[in-house]
Structure 1
């Protein structure tokens, strides 16, 4: 019996919660679904499901097997998709969403370069500081910067987002440069309106740094402009201010401290039947932004060494 089909049946039964609903979803008879499940249990030499007249539930062996089965099915579908795509040219429109600051600093140029490689692909780049509803907004791909992802969404990690505490040289000359965390309390701080507190790691534990809130905005790019104008000290992502730091327009404050890094993720609704253009775009972004350090952090100075993180845009 076809093991890939048996794997798909097992996963569908678990997701649907019953053999009957799984049979309807797969357009099979309930008897055929039952036979595929029996074949799976024979193949794995373990009982995968507890079945009663009212409900089904995973056994311990079934719980262990479920993740591997999903990975197997995704890999098989990816191989099939790539084989079908061989020799085809990517085309169509892609709707992409991102925060305004990441779109301006990194993503717009990346999409233009992608279109040079695939000229039949058109792109719409939508920006918002809040997370958009992919299904409602008909978004093919969203780039989100977060460590908390909704479990219902599919994601691929693209890079690590690091941030820096920074200010203009003019501001620091006028107000002094903080030497310790406590010194920030006497300084003007520029805060993102949607971020309550930034988490730092000091020594072995977390810490929160406080100052006098002087300026707020819901747009990270606006906070960068305010910092460049000498308004105060801001926590800004290096994807946005990496060049400012390297070229001296902004200066790191308390470089021994660094906000907890976040993950930059490509978010999409399903791995199944990905359009060729979307699959190629995800691969392109992972290659462009990936590596041991993100491209905007390569060659950066004044940042403490820290381990890579796992995952607001």
Structure 2
């Protein structure tokens, strides 16, 4: 293949990767503002140039051939390299400017990140920030997200990231509730208490605890259930029961004595426990606006404005 054909195929490769990501020609066409037939012609042209079939088309779905799978991975690498080139101008701009879009879980965004934003916006007047507060897992590429914070024990491969802080859960109640109902000394005692839990699915009322290699699960119940940590915090402060809360949400109330933690010799394991990772596409060069946002949040955590970071330094998460 001559060099002109290679250059001419670059746009077809980008369209091919978008089709795979979208799962259909029509979905890719909508994202690219093209017609499905135009997208189909570009895929057919790429298959003709490469002389291999990339996609198997059926009435219900698209699937990749073996050659298509290999081509898709390389097209992703090509697009990542292109993003690095596009980011060069921002990277070498002395003054950070532009919009930073960051996705993060609701409680973490409200309690940990949001308090750091006023000082950031004051320090960097040409940078705007959009916090995408959601507990669902966003696709950084599909949704044009610059950075994402996720709480996980196993960060996803294919992204660069740095650990921000350890997230742990506490079981706590108001002194008044404990005075009236007693203080549990073992996780099994919780079955006799009114507990305030998440309630988004059946497993949320099964609290898991670990200690010295021992694990046990206790089914809890209560009259007040809420899928927002600050609402559960308020419920605990109003003596409605024993609550399971992210430690950063309850910290101020624990420090003031308005809440008391119980079962401190046990680790309360939940799906929202682990490390808070700051993740982003693995570009060698980060735009200036992203670098200063990351540095500001890390410095804010280290200064004690919120949680202290568990450790510093960038790592690259390799495919397992």
User: TM-score, normalized by length of structure 2?
Assistant: 0.62
* 1:187 corresponds to: 193
Distance change in 2, residues 1:111/1:163 (3 Å): same
Please report how far the alpha carbon of residue 243 of structure 1 lies from its aligned counterpart in structure 2 after TM superposition: 0.4
CA separation in 2, counterparts of 1:132 and 1:219? 19
1:236 aligned onto 2:248 = no
Number of residue equivalences: 233
Task: Classify the secondary structure of the residue corresponding to 2:177.
Answer: helix
CA separation in 1, counterparts of 2:241 and 2:233? 10
CA separation in 2, counterparts of 1:290 and 1:194? 33
Distance change in 2, residues 1:207/1:134 (3 Å): same
Please tell me whether the aligned partners of residues 104 and 131 of structure 2 are also in contact (alpha carbons under 8 angstroms): yes
CA separation in 2, counterparts of 1:199 and 1:174? 25
Distance change in 2, residues 1:274/1:181 (3 Å): same
Please tell me whether the aligned partners of residues 238 and 296 of structure 1 are also in contact (alpha carbons under 8 angstroms): no
User: After superposition, what is the alpha-carbon deviation per residue over 1:166-205, rounded to whole angstroms, capped at 9, x for unaligned?
Assistant: 0112221221111222211101111113473444321223
**Partner residue of 2:115 out of 109, 112, 132:** 109
Higher mean C-alpha displacement, 239-248 vs 270-279: 270-279
Task: Classify the secondary structure of the residue corresponding to 1:130.
Answer: coil
| Structure 2: gaps (5+ residues) | 1-66, 71-80, 312-320
* 1:267 corresponds to: 279
**Partner residue of 1:118 out of 107, 120, 124:** 124
RMSD: 3.8
Distance change in 2, residues 1:84/1:190 (3 Å): closer
CA separation in 2, counterparts of 1:245 and 1:297? 14
Please tell me whether the aligned partners of residues 164 and 277 of structure 2 are also in contact (alpha carbons under 8 angstroms): yes
* 1:225 corresponds to: 234
User: After superposition, what is the alpha-carbon deviation per residue over 1:122-148, rounded to whole angstroms, capped at 9, x for unaligned?
Assistant: 111121122223233322112111213
* 1:16 corresponds to: none
Task: Classify the secondary structure of the residue corresponding to 1:135.
Answer: coil
CA separation in 2, counterparts of 1:156 and 1:127? 20
**Partner residue of 1:177 out of 179, 183, 191:** 183
User: After superposition, what is the alpha-carbon deviation per residue over 1:213-250, rounded to whole angstroms, capped at 9, x for unaligned?
Assistant: 43322222221122222221111112111001000111
Pairing of 1:4-23 with structure 2 (within 5 A): none
Please tell me whether the aligned partners of residues 97 and 127 of structure 2 are also in contact (alpha carbons under 8 angstroms): yes
Higher mean C-alpha displacement, 230-239 vs 195-204: 195-204
CA separation in 2, counterparts of 1:270 and 1:129? 23
Please tell me whether the aligned partners of residues 91 and 288 of structure 2 are also in contact (alpha carbons under 8 angstroms): no
CA separation in 2, counterparts of 1:111 and 1:214? 36
Pairing of 1:85-234 with structure 2 (within 5 A): 85=92, 88-194=94-200, 196=203, 197-234=206-243
* 1:29 corresponds to: none
CA separation in 2, counterparts of 1:84 and 1:97? 21
CA separation in 1, counterparts of 2:167 and 2:246? 7
User: TM-score, normalized by length of structure 1?
Assistant: 0.63
CA separation in 2, counterparts of 1:205 and 1:88? 54
| Structure 1: gaps (5+ residues) | 1-53, 58-73, 299-306, 309-313
Distance change in 2, residues 1:283/1:296 (3 Å): closer
1:287 aligned onto 2:293 = no
Please tell me whether the aligned partners of residues 129 and 218 of structure 1 are also in contact (alpha carbons under 8 angstroms): no
